[in-house]
Amino acid sequence: MSTTDRRPPAPPQPPATPPPGHDEDGDLALHPAAVRRRSLALLGSLLRPVAGRVWATALVVVGAQLALVAGPALVALGIDRGLPALRDGDAGPLLAVAATYAVAALVAGVLTAATVRLAARVSQGVLLDLRRRVFRHTQRLSLEFHERYTSGRVISRQTSDVEALRELLDGGVTTLAASGLAMVFTAVSLVVLDWRSGLVLLVAVVPGVLVTRWFQVRSQAQYRRSRTAVARVIVRFVETMTGIRAVQAFRRERQVAEVYDDLTEEYRAANAEAIRVNGVFDTGLVLIGNVTVAAVLLVGGLRVLDGGLAVGVLVAAVLYARRFFAPLAQIGMFYNSFQSATAALEKLSALLAEEPTVPDPERPVRLARTTGDVRFDGVEFGYGAGPSVLPRLDLHVPAGQTVALVGETGAGKSTVAKLLARFYDPREGAVRLDGVDLRDLDPADLRRSVVMVTQEAYLFSGSVGANIALGRPDATPAEIEAAARAVGVHDLIAALPEGYGTGVDTRGVRLSAGQRQLVSFARAFLADPAVLVLDEATSSLDIPGEQLVQDGLRTLLTGRTAVVIAHRLSTVMHADRVLVVDGGRVVEDGSPAELVAAGGRFAALHAQWQESLLRT
Amino acid sequence: MPPSASAPAGPSVSTTRALARLIRWARPAVPRVVAGGTATLAASLLALAVPQVLREVVNGPLLTDGSRTAVVQSALLVLLLGVLEAFLVWCRRALIATPGTGVERHMRTDLFRHLLDLPVAFHDRWSGGQLLQRSMGDLHTVRRWMVFGLVQLVVSATTVLVGAGLLIATTPLLGLVYLAGAVPVVWLGFSFRQDYKVVARRARDQAGDLATSVEESVHGIRVLKAFGRGEDALEDFVRQADGLRETEIDKARAQSRMSFALAWIPETTLAVALGLGVWLAASDRVSVGALVAFFATAAVMNRPVESLGQLLAMTLDARAGTDRFFEVMDTAPAVRDPERPVALPPAPAGGSRVELDGVRFAHGGEEVLSGVDLVLEPGRTTALVGLTGSGKTTLLQLVPRLYDVTGGAVRLDGVDVRDLTRRDLRSAVSVAFEDPILFSASVRDNVLMGVPEEQLARMDEAEADALVHEALDVARAGFVHRLPQGLDTVIGEEGLSLSGGQRQRVALARAIAGRPRVLVLDDPLSALDVATEAEVTEGLRRMLTGTTTLVVAHRTSTVALADRVAVLEDGRVTGVGRHADLLATHPHYRFVLTAEADDRAEAAR
């Protein structure tokens, strides 16, 4: 979390083993132009489904603008035509004009209101679509990705980056339609009025393009920096709040706050710089506009003196030129939020471009009834590009057998479990269930057939009952209760203030670690899989708790395949078969009794355990 | 769910007053905001002046003089004004927008510091996503309002007021017609405020809950994958996100009503004014010139009036964000440093003595500990044994004051822990949690976190290294030397993932590295295999001489660490003694360790 002040400058935490070709946000090492193209493609794909609505919004905006513009014209009409007519005793024209004005006012009001609603529909529709895509994709990505990318960064994508897009969408369509249209109209009017003055306007395009180009490059750099900075702030925030106990217990508040100060300062600086760049852009646009107006006046004025231009036309030309540049500030604002959104979309599209390393099969094989026959055929595996953890594993677990894996930390026990649950895919060889390679097995069938319970019993916010129901969402309350009874956690849940409906506090802290493990056991019970993988799933249980689970397990494991990793021999001794793993290889294989009798490593462990029991 | 979902804290407080509290952070920026606001006002006035100047120029030199210099001069004047306007636009940016980022950051770091100060019990109740959203999204909204919305609101309102004054001054009757339109607008604005305030707040809360869902879906990814529940999680998430979408559309609906009123009503009054004005002009009660001036002024007011709706909405959004910010900031830390802290006396020669005296602890109205009396003898190791959920972990966390007792007292060397600063106390008491939390830092730095800074300052690098090595050695965490960069390998979320057993050992090394006076260990060896556990136990016994230790134990192998055992049952300590004695005399103790007694019987056979 923080490097202590007087420690030698430990390298400021880059990810330990950055996979080659990834930057810290997991972006592929692509050419910046390609990154931008990908981000625009994402924007395009988000807008395509709402294209109809976008056009409708634009039309409504134009209508509303026209209705508002009609006002002055009607005033002129009222004075020019209505007044003389009224003096002649005819109130008709005036009433007609006033009535038209009233209608125009109503139309303007209705269309303005419609604009607000339509724009919100477009914007919110796009955001929902994006949120859904990102969520689905992160759920599909493999554990390897999650361990590299960190939760904070995913949260940052889903909150801050989505917000950046929202700022563009909320005002974007309206601004573009209204301002763009106004500029086009004015430009056309000016050219029709006096094309030479129009030419002066054209000259202004050159510095305009230059300053826009400058802004594009600079703001893009700043917004990219800002996106990275905000992700760092969020990552740190999430990590600190998740580990607040340790922060306080080890008095890290000051250091943590200092690190956070630096990160927020970097974010602030990036923002301030982006704002500054935008300010220069804004000012530049205003300046170009005003200089052009002066130029139109100068050129036109000189032409008036030469008799080449009527004064009235000059006045009109100058006013048009001025009006032409008025909406430019808004377009500049739009472009600014566009730049900010593109930077966010770059990050989002990079996340969406991540390929799951454990992909769903293209032609999934269904498995209607799983018996639970597990095979590892010449499996070789290592994490990422790292060294081999399992050099070559051949293993057959017949359906219904309970196998315990024993060995030191790092021997590869958990790796075997993770491969079986298909958290990872082997580099070579295959893991098969009932003869089907897990890579070809229908994901739904795989998850129904193989369930893994790990040491960390994560509880989601919601009721205890809902947390158990995670094992089988369509379970009835009676079934949930039965599962809880089976693992012996029912009495405890029943004693909670609202029983199964009791809310689990944030990160489930109100339940003890042991209770959480019991709940996650109930989950597995409810899921009722053909193959159950328990990775240190009983470590936090006390002895009565463990015994309850053991009893439950005995019922559950009948007729099921189980792979159990436990360091407690009390659990291991109940297995049908024990595998002693070392360096990713099986070094001993047999029933607990056989292995004890054989006098190998397991026998030594067993002896040690016996001794620890007898010692008081 | 945390109080987030509950009603906003101060519904009775006016928006102005709620936002005024921001002044505490905004004060340094106030002069610049005022200057920037003035620049903005000047820029818009200037923008209005340019056409006037143009007219003067055209009507004057161009039509009368006809000299080249005059034309050049007037073009230069227009250029000058234009440059001035650009300069003022730039001033506004430089003066307001940039300091605004400083205000936002200051609020953000203050919120973070406050969160660090709030006790664990607070964090138990509040989800991370809600806190994150408050610190990022809400403050972002507040900043944008402060640098843009507020200034614009003032400028627009000023323009409208000045314009209305002008209208009344020039043509009182028409002015009154226009002003009559203000009555329904103000009335609608009032009801808009009520409607919008509620949905704006709901939208912010839902955004926070959405962030929480994202956080949980990532933190719980292993469970979701193991049970193949990704699709269900997605459905829940989409339902929530759709709820947020609905709220946002409700917001737009409320805002559209206001926009409708602000576009329709003033224009309608103008339609009436047109009819009336022309009628008055026909009877020469109003001059045509005045009529033209009236409509020209009204046209200038058009845009500011229209923008009022959006600005009001922005203000109410900022208010919701501000309320959410203050909900956290106003929470006084329940566990705080005493006003006049007592200095911790130096450790007695034989070790520190910890005394729990009639300790009670209630959580959510439910009493977990109801009068615990327990003395941890100096330099001795006491094991705490009890059933899952009996409150062992809670009791343990009372010692370093991660929670405060709700009754009775915990004393360290005779001093109530509540009379010490948390810093002093936690320097003396070190913890190893059952659920080991490591940070994104190197292994070395993670271990050294256990060493009080003052102590670390007195050490050179070699000594510190020796300390790290020894602690890791005792915790049997030799595996760290085989990591890619050895002790410099970054672990934690942003680094290498370690297995549960590995993390537990690094966390244990961290707890013992500082040679604390008091050590509290929460089942620290649960994820270790028998052989390693025996080795660690051996090392700990050696290292813990002189350290008063309380260890939560689930089995005899951990009890073996201890000199004495205390049994926690129904919120009280019902027995203290040696393992063998308790086994013989204490039925509950025997029950808690029954399974092993059975195994032992088996083993003895």
Q: How confident is the model at residue B63 (pLDDT cuts 50, 70, 90)?
A: low
Domain of A557 in residue numbering reads as 374-614
Report pLDDT digits (tens) over B577-587.
998 888 889 88
Nearest alpha-carbon partner for A45 in A450, A266, A277, A348: A348
Nearest alpha-carbon partner for A155 in B221, B227, B126: B221
Closest CB to B63 among A64, A311, A542: A311
The set of residues, in sequence order, having a beta carbon less than 8 Å from that of B560 and lying 6+ positions away, is: A612, A615, A616, B537, B579
At A237, the amino acid letter reads: F
Residue B603 has pLDDT above 70, yes or no: no
Q: Strand order of the sheet with strand A450-453?
A: A450-453, A531-535, A561-565, A402-406, A577-582, A585-590
Whether A239 is in a domain gets the answer yes
- CB contact, 8 Å: A3 with chain B? yes
What pLDDT was estimated at residue B207? Answer: 93
Give A-chain residues touching B142 at CB under 8 angstroms.
Answer: none
**What secondary structure letter does DSSP report for B499?**
-
**Closest chain B residue to the Cα of A527, Cα to Cα:** B227
DSSP per residue, B443-498: HHHHHHTTS-HHHHHT--HHHHHHHHHHHHHHTT-GGGGGSTTGGG-EESTTSB--
- Mark whether A348 and A386 lie in a shared domain: no
CB contact under 8 A, A11 and B488: yes
CB contact under 8 A, A159 and B591: no
Distance from C-alpha of A543 to C-alpha of A571, rounded to nearest angstrom = 11
Report pLDDT digits (tens) over B123-167.
888 888 899 999 999 999 999 998 888 888 888 888 888 888 888
- CB contact, 8 Å: B278 with chain A? yes
Whether A367 is in a domain gets the answer no
Cα dihedral A536, A542, A543, A548 in deg (nearest 10): -80
Tell me yes or no: is domain B354-604 CATH 3.40.50.620.
no
DSSP per residue, B405-425: -SEEEEEETTEEGGGS-HHHH
Whether A190 is in a domain gets the answer yes
Closest CB to B495 among A13, A510, A608: A13
Closest CB to B288 among A79, A251, A294: A79
- CB contact, 8 Å: A305 with chain B? yes
- Mark whether A421 and A290 lie in a shared domain: no
- Mark whether A68 and A118 lie in a shared domain: yes
Count, residues in chain A: 616
- CB contact, 8 Å: A409 with chain B? yes
Whether A164 is in a domain gets the answer yes
Q: How confident is the model at residue B351 (pLDDT cuts 50, 70, 90)?
A: confident
A470 and B229 in contact (C-beta within 8 Å)? Answer: yes
Mean pLDDT confidence for B343-355 = 88
What pLDDT was estimated at residue B239? Answer: 95
**What is this structure's pTM?**
0.88
Whether A415 is in a domain gets the answer yes
What pLDDT was estimated at residue A266? Answer: 95
Closest CB to B128 among A160, A241, A512: A241
**A351 compared with B294, residue with greater pLDDT:** A351
CB contact under 8 A, B599 and A239: no
Residue B5 has pLDDT above 50, yes or no: no
Nearest alpha-carbon partner for A416 in A520, A534, A538, A587: A534
Whether A299 is in a domain gets the answer yes
* Per-residue tokens: A615: 């010692």
Sites in chain A below the pLDDT cut of 50? 1-23, 26, 28, 507-509, 616
* Per-residue tokens: A278: 């935008």
**Closest chain B residue to the Cα of A472, Cα to Cα:** B227
**What secondary structure letter does DSSP report for B9?**
S
CB atoms within 10 A of CB A538: 25
Give B-chain residues touching A231 at CB under 8 angstroms.
Answer: none
The number of C-beta contacts closer than 8 angstroms across A and B is: 583
> What's the gap in Å between the CA of B349 and the closest CA on chain A?
24
CB contact under 8 A, A282 and B434: no
**B302 compared with B116, residue with greater pLDDT:** B116
CB contact under 8 A, A414 and B238: no
In this structure, what CATH number is given to the domain that contains residue A301? 1.20.1560.10
What pLDDT was estimated at residue B6? Answer: 39
Highest mean pLDDT among A367-381, A516-530, B316-330, B352-366: B316-330
Report domain extents, chain B.
172-332, 354-604
- CB contact, 8 Å: A502 with chain B? no
- CB contact, 8 Å: B215 with chain A? yes
Residue B244 has pLDDT above 90, yes or no: yes
> Phi/psi at B352 (nearest 5 deg)?
-85, 155
CB contact under 8 A, B529 and A452: no
What pLDDT was estimated at residue A16? Answer: 38
Q: Which of 3.40.50.1980, 1.10.357.10, 1.20.1560.10, 1.10.10.60 would CATH assign to domain B172-332?
A: 1.20.1560.10
> What's the gap in Å between the CA of A309 and the closest CA on chain B?
12
- Mark whether A389 and A313 lie in a shared domain: no
Closest CB to B499 among A4, A11, A409: A409
Question: Radius of gyration of chain B from Cα atoms?
Answer: 35
- CB contact, 8 Å: B217 with chain A? yes
Handedness of CA A263, A266, A270, A272 (dihedral sign): positive
**Closest chain A residue to the Cα of B487, Cα to Cα:** A10
Count of the separate structural domains present in chain A = 2
CB contact under 8 A, A506 and B261: no
B579 and B565 in contact (C-beta within 8 Å)? Answer: yes
- CB contact, 8 Å: B449 with chain A? yes
Distance from C-alpha of A4 to C-alpha of A251, rounded to nearest angstrom = 12
Report pLDDT digits (tens) over B483-493.
888 889 888 87
Cα dihedral A524, A526, A532, A538 in deg (nearest 10): 40
Q: How confident is the model at residue B20 (pLDDT cuts 50, 70, 90)?
A: confident
CB contact under 8 A, B256 and A113: yes
Whether A368 is in a domain gets the answer no
- Mark whether A388 and A432 lie in a shared domain: yes
Q: Which of A273, A282, A306, A460 to mutate to test the interface with B (most CBs of B within 10 A)?
A: A460
Distance from C-alpha of A375 to C-alpha of B48, rounded to nearest angstrom = 82
Whether A18 is in a domain gets the answer no
CB contact under 8 A, B58 and A311: yes
- CB contact, 8 Å: A336 with chain B? no
Distance from C-alpha of B374 to C-alpha of B12, rounded to nearest angstrom = 49
Give A-chain residues touching B268 at CB under 8 angstroms.
Answer: 102, 105-106
Give A-chain residues touching B261 at CB under 8 angstroms.
Answer: 109
B residues 80-109 lying closer than 8 A (beta carbon) to A: 81-83, 85-87, 89-90, 93-94, 97-98, 101-102, 104-105, 108-109
**What secondary structure letter does DSSP report for A366?**
P
Nearest alpha-carbon partner for B475 in B516, B503, B446: B503
Give B-chain residues touching A235 at CB under 8 angstroms.
Answer: 493-494
Closest CB to B212 among A124, A461, A473: A461
CB contact under 8 A, B116 and A257: yes
- CB contact, 8 Å: A139 with chain B? yes
- CB contact, 8 Å: B150 with chain A? no
CB contact under 8 A, A250 and B2: no
- Three-state DSSP class for B435? coil
Measuring CA to CA, how many Å separate B243 from each of B204, B246, B403? 12, 5, 36
CB contact under 8 A, A267 and B105: yes
CB contact under 8 A, B556 and A616: yes
Closest CB to A110 among B214, B260, B364: B260
What pLDDT was estimated at residue A506? Answer: 52
Give B-chain residues touching A104 at CB under 8 angstroms.
Answer: 267, 271
Same fold, B172-332 and B354-604: no
Q: Which of B218, B427, B451 to mutate to test the interface with A (most CBs of A within 10 A)?
A: B218
Residue B326 has pLDDT above 90, yes or no: yes
Closest CB to A297 among B78, B132, B430: B78
CB contact under 8 A, A311 and B257: no
CB contact under 8 A, A268 and B101: yes
**Closest chain A residue to the Cα of B44, Cα to Cα:** A326
In this structure, what CATH number is given to the domain that contains residue A538? 3.40.50.300
**Closest chain A residue to the Cα of B99, Cα to Cα:** A272
A residues 569-598 lying closer than 8 A (beta carbon) to B: 569-570
- Mark whether A495 and A348 lie in a shared domain: no
